[in-house]
Structure 1
Amino acid sequence: MGSLDNDLPQALVLGTIHHATDILSALEKQCTVQVITSGTRNEFLADCQSGRYSRVVAIGRSVDSVAFTGRFDAELVAQLPSSVRFICHNGAGYDQVDVHACKARDIVVSNTPNVVNAATADTTMLLMLAALRRMRIPQEALLSGRWADPKANFQLPLGKDPAGLTLGIVGLGGIGAAVARRAAAFDMKVQYHNRRPADETFLKGIGNELVYVSTLKELLATSDVVSVHVPLSDATHHLIGEAEFAQMKPGVVLINTARGPVVDEAALVKALESGQVWSAGLDVFEHEPEVHLGLVANEHTVLLPHIGTATVDTRRKMEAMMLGNVKSALADGVLKTPVPECKDM
């Protein structure tokens, strides 16, 4: 922790910096930094009220810090010192921060877009290929010894080739576009649905084969594989539910590396059990770290514990971008990567 020199601008960093420690050290030489890595929500709120953070201008927070502060909801934002003008979130998705409550207090919020695209897209393809092969069945047969046991009479399930299949991307932002580029290399036909056609910056390098579909219903009805890449909001909560599964092709493959609550897990379990969904690859869950028992029990699922950005390289880039926003906030009074809702502030 940097020395608490009241003549220097002050920042508060919530959560451990694991990889960009050199950047944190450099920041501590330029301003006063308090680093908090443990505690409880009640303790944090009490510290806010006590004046401990009365000179803090910018807060940098990690996703893991939710364990001791809780979500940055309206209650918590209301207790922040009046000096706070910037909240720098370490993650592309920022549903842990109530942006509307922040804007009501003239607090600008930033996230870490773009640097997460490659790792999350790689995880999407990993899940897609595994789900197309129903990889869990042969893997469990090998690990349990059934594959090597003649008496077990294990029958290897046949999967599906990605080539020639139509991939429907729900939400073509940076991650969705990265998935489209990778899927094209597997000779998949790629189409996407947004509320409006994607900006040209997202289409660069994909080619002319990418098709825009104006309605979600049409996308679902014409895709062999559906991959979800929308942020979580009130509008996208249970965006994919019972009605949407009914609109999909029989035997569709579903991939979700966005946010768990975008998909109604109970409806997904029913669709898997009926065969409407042939297999599913999931990195996120509606009530994580809890996972619906129907998903755990179904051998036609491939499940990962939210590892989309879990590479050393990506996590360092994320921490560096978050700390860069903190530095920019203190030095220049602006954030480098404000979230879309705050770009007019």
Structure 2
Amino acid sequence: MTKENILFIGTVRHAKAQEAALAAKYNVHYAAPSRKELFDQLENAKREGITFKALYRGFASHYTLGRVDEQLLTALPSGLELIGSVGAGYDFVEYNMRHGLPHKPRIGRDPTNMTLGIVGMGGIGKAVAKRAQALGMKIVYHNRRPITITGDNEAFLTEATYLPTLDALLSTSDVVSIHVPLSPETRYLFRADQFSTMKAGSYLLNTSRGPVVDEEALVQALASGHIAGAGLDVFEHEPKVHPELLKNMDVALMPHLGAFTVETITKMEALTMENIDLFLSSGALLTPVNHVN
């Protein structure tokens, strides 16, 4: 039986017994000591019809032979199926080549002077607005009705502009952030029509509830480039995530854990009990959602 070929880039420092066992079972080829010589070696391998089924990247080998990058992977004879990298992580291997993804710098955007459109200016929407203002963003929002500013702690909201229609917000916002409850009215509030109304090159953030957004429509809007990126911590079919969102480098995915601190949970528990106490003693509520007659 023909033995498979393995290319060792870098040396084995300590696991000599395992190296010997591997060499007894397969044809082990050791890389030349410099990157230039390595490329000459790979060119010779191509001429001789040698293919490497696996590649071993030794610890700290990048200092002498460089990264396992597009240049090196292109120089290798075809047929490589496995890259074994010594150490935690794989930042010394250009793994995007596995999927044919282009290597390009990830250049961000400065939020200063951008317009943030908040859909649902409740407690969370207000908290987001306050933080966004500190970054120099302009705030517009859409609710069923304009908010009433109560107290000095909400004075910052005087600079937020109310827009009476969702389309008006979508067409003027560089970033759209969703903060609505899930209801029959808000289910699939964002579909293909809404994404096409958004500004070209804008961003979508959804930290409310997954089914507020039609994920397939979002995938298509991202693929077309009309939507530049998205940040999501809720998903339409939780716990499943649309596979195209998982693969998209312009999408940031997080678990929905904004409330998971001791302090926040303590406040929520206390507020719930304060509501119960107030209701039983007076019939009033601090934070009512609706009233049943």
TM-score under structure 2 length normalisation = 0.62
Residue 277 of structure 1: aligned partner: 227
Residue 261 of structure 2: aligned partner: 311
The 8 Å contact of residues 149 and 157 in structure 2, kept in 1 or not, is answered as no
The 8 Å contact of residues 200 and 227 in structure 2, kept in 1 or not, is answered as yes
Residue 205 of structure 1: aligned partner: 155
The 8 Å contact of residues 174 and 199 in structure 2, kept in 1 or not, is answered as yes
The 8 Å contact of residues 147 and 154 in structure 1, kept in 2 or not, is answered as no
Gaps of 5+ in 1: 1-141
Higher alpha-carbon Rg: 2
CA distance in 2, matches of 1:293, 1:239: 22
Deviation at 1:327, TM superposition (A): 4.8
Residue 179 of structure 2: aligned partner: 229
Deviation at 1:175, TM superposition (A): 1.2
Aligned pairs for 1:80-229 (under 5 A) are 143-146=89-92, 154-201=103-150, 204-229=154-179
CA distance in 1, matches of 2:104, 2:243: 25
1:280–1:143 Cα change, 3 Å: farther
CA distance in 2, matches of 1:146, 1:335: 61
Report the 3-state secondary structure (helix = DSSP H, G, I; strand = E; otherwise coil) of the residue aligned with 1:201: coil
Task: Give the number of aligned pairs.
Answer: 201
CA distance in 1, matches of 2:92, 2:217: 32
CA distance in 1, matches of 2:276, 2:120: 29
Deviation at 1:251, TM superposition (A): 1.1
Higher alpha-carbon deviation: 318-327 or 166-175? 318-327
CA distance in 2, matches of 1:201, 1:243: 35
Deviation at 1:339, TM superposition (A): 3.1
1:212–1:314 Cα change, 3 Å: same
Deviation at 1:154, TM superposition (A): 4.9
Q: Deviations over 1:55-95 (max 9, x none)?
A: xxxxxxxxxxxxxxxxxxxxxxxxxxxxxxxxxxxxxxxxx
TM-score under structure 1 length normalisation = 0.53
CA distance in 1, matches of 2:169, 2:93: 39
Deviation at 1:338, TM superposition (A): 5.3
Letter in 1 for 2:182: L
CA distance in 2, matches of 1:209, 1:326: 35
CA distance in 2, matches of 1:197, 1:325: 25
Aligned pairs for 1:41-56 (under 5 A) are none
CA distance in 2, matches of 1:231, 1:155: 38
Residue 261 of structure 1: aligned partner: 211
Deviation at 1:265, TM superposition (A): 1.1
Letter in 2 for 1:312: V
Identity among equivalent positions (%) equals 47
Report the 3-state secondary structure (helix = DSSP H, G, I; strand = E; otherwise coil) of the residue aligned with 1:341: coil
Structure with bigger RCO (C-alpha 8 Å, 6+ apart): 1
The 8 Å contact of residues 189 and 212 in structure 2, kept in 1 or not, is answered as yes
Deviation at 1:164, TM superposition (A): 1.2
RMSD, aligned α-carbons:
2.7
